[in-house]
Amino acid sequence: MKREKSAELFERAKQYFPGGVNSPVRAFRSVGGTPIFIQKGNGSHIWDEDGNEFIDYCCSWGPLILGHAYAKVLEAVQYTMQNGTSFGAPTKLENELANLIITHNKYVERIRFVSSGTEAVMSAIRLARGYTGKSKIIKFEGCYHGHVDSLLVKAGSGLVTFGNSSSAGVPESFVNETIVVSLNDEKAVKEAFLQFKNEIACVIIEPIPANNGLLVQRKEFLEFLRTICDEENTLLLFDEVISGFRVGFEGAAGYYQIQPDLVTYGKIIGGGFPVGAYGGKKEIMSNISPEGSVYQAGTLSGNPVAMTAGKTQLEICLSEGFYNELEKKTSYLIKGILERTKKFEDKFKFFQMGSIFWIAFTNLENIRTAEEIDPNSMMYFKQLHLHLLENGIYLGPSGYEVGFVSHVHSYDDLNKTIEAFSSGLLKIFNSQ
Ligand SMILES: *Cc1c(COP(=O)(O)O)cnc(C)c1O
């Protein structure tokens, strides 16, 4: 596979951007080699600057549930753009996207659009604090919520801990407002509530944690969080930036039938444009300014072009059988790979939630916590990633990242992917 042009562009990019990229995981640090510079995408396929073609399972990290350059989305965007790209004043397009969401998602009564997942989470946390008058938050090790200061915190040692910041530049005083506990651990959550009685504004969780492997939770654990938040007058915040509109139109809330107090969206909601949102019960959301005293604003919030893209994409997600078909395709992919690699079935596992999949090099039956992921197992992913690239399959360049199947992945794509995955896995483990 030629990568000369990508290599040249990366050298150039390093002169402009820290590490040559505008978001760290793009730099291929965990898989090695040069990042691939994408020239174009169409449907389930992408092409790099060297002319290599790939079947894409990164899908821009999730937003592209209809694949690349979906004709209806492009047409709608082009039509809207002719009338201008931003006004900083209300447009009916905001109403239309909000109406579509609220009508078909019973977990959201009021919504506010912002421009990224990070911004959605940051705002929802401020709202939780403003509404409850408390300052601390509980988060879970292995959940990612964007690069919000007080959420760039990882667990320290011990059951219930103030975390350590996972980034330089986050003041200790911020870190001290965040309590980090393990996923799947009722005891630790109870302990945190005991230790910080009446201080916890919200518990934030990815109900389907998909940013550090795919750590599928027990429904009972999520129900436990709902109950304890109610008992303690704490808000339950579902960060559904990945799972929202992905595992179903009502996201994980709908999948588990658990009503969060606040929910955040991003990724799919913008149809490939920068959109985030937070929403929830009317009574809580009415505390946002100008109705209430929690300030939050945005120059490009509710951008008309982005609203159009989001609305067009979400309308298609609502079509009959849309999510069943996605899940069926993803199961077909995994089953195909497993059938061809039976010999090594104790070496790795696939985890799946709808159209999200993750391969873990483990012999554990379930992986529900970040601590259960063996960092040494990532060397297998590195080899697999290289093999897949050479065979025309693009996955996000890290073994901690999940893959996404889109509406436009064909069975021909899936069959090719099955072949590439299987030959890669057989090669890796036969050579051991
Ligand atoms: C991607 C993601 C974010 C951050 O969204 P950005 O748009 O990258 O700022 C936050 N939370 C979750 C669960 C995510 O998957």
pLDDT tens string 288-319: 999 999 999 999 999 999 999 999 999 999 99
* pLDDT tens for each residue of 73-117: 999 999 999 999 999 999 999 999 999 999 999 999 999 999 999
Q: Nearest CA to 207 among 148, 160, 256, 275?
A: 256
Q: Which atom of ligand 1 is nearest to the CA of 146?
A: 4
Residues with CB under 6 A from ligand 1: 116-118, 121, 144-146, 206, 211, 239, 241-242, 266-267, 276
Distance 242 CA to ligand 1 centre (A): 7
Give the mutation target among 267, 278, 353, 400 for probing the ligand 1 site: most ligand atoms within 8 A of CB.
267
Cα–ligand 1 centroid distance for 424 (angstroms): 30
Q: Is 144 a catalytic residue?
A: yes
For residue range 316-361, what is the model confidence (pLDDT) as tens digits? Answer: 999 999 999 999 999 999 999 999 999 999 999 999 999 999 999 9
**Model's pTM, two decimal places?**
0.97
Among 56, 239, 261, 413, which one carries the catalytic annotation?
Answer: 239
**Rounded distance from Cα 402 to ligand 1 centre (Å):** 13
Return the pLDDT at 157. 67
Name the phi and psi angles at 288, rounded to 5: -85, 145
CA of 59 from ligand 1 middle (Å) equals 14
92 is catalytic: no
Please identify which of the residues 267, 311, 329, 349 carries the catalytic annotation: 267
- Ligand 1 atom having least distance to the Cα of 242: 15
Q: Specify the residue with its C-alpha closest to ligand 1, atom 6.
A: 117
- E runs forming strands in 126-275: 136-140, 153-154, 161-162, 164-165, 178-181, 200-205, 235-239, 262-265
For the segment 143-148, the average pLDDT, to the nearest whole number, is: 96
pLDDT per residue as tens digits for the range 209-242: 999 999 999 999 999 999 999 999 999 999 999 9
Model confidence at 164: pLDDT above 90: no
> d(Cα 64, Cα 58) in Å, to the nearest integer?
9
- Closest-lying ligand 1 atom to the alpha carbon of residue 266: 7
Pocket probe for ligand 1: among 144, 301, 400, the residue whose CB has the most ligand atoms within 8 Å is: 144
Token pair belonging to 289: 């300014």
3-state secondary structure of 406: coil
**pLDDT at 375 exceeding the cut of 80:** yes
Cα separation of 57 and 348, whole Å?
A: 19
- Full 3-state SS string of 120-142: HHHHHHHHHHHHHCCCEEEEECC
Whose C-alpha lies nearest to ligand 1, atom 5?
Answer: 117
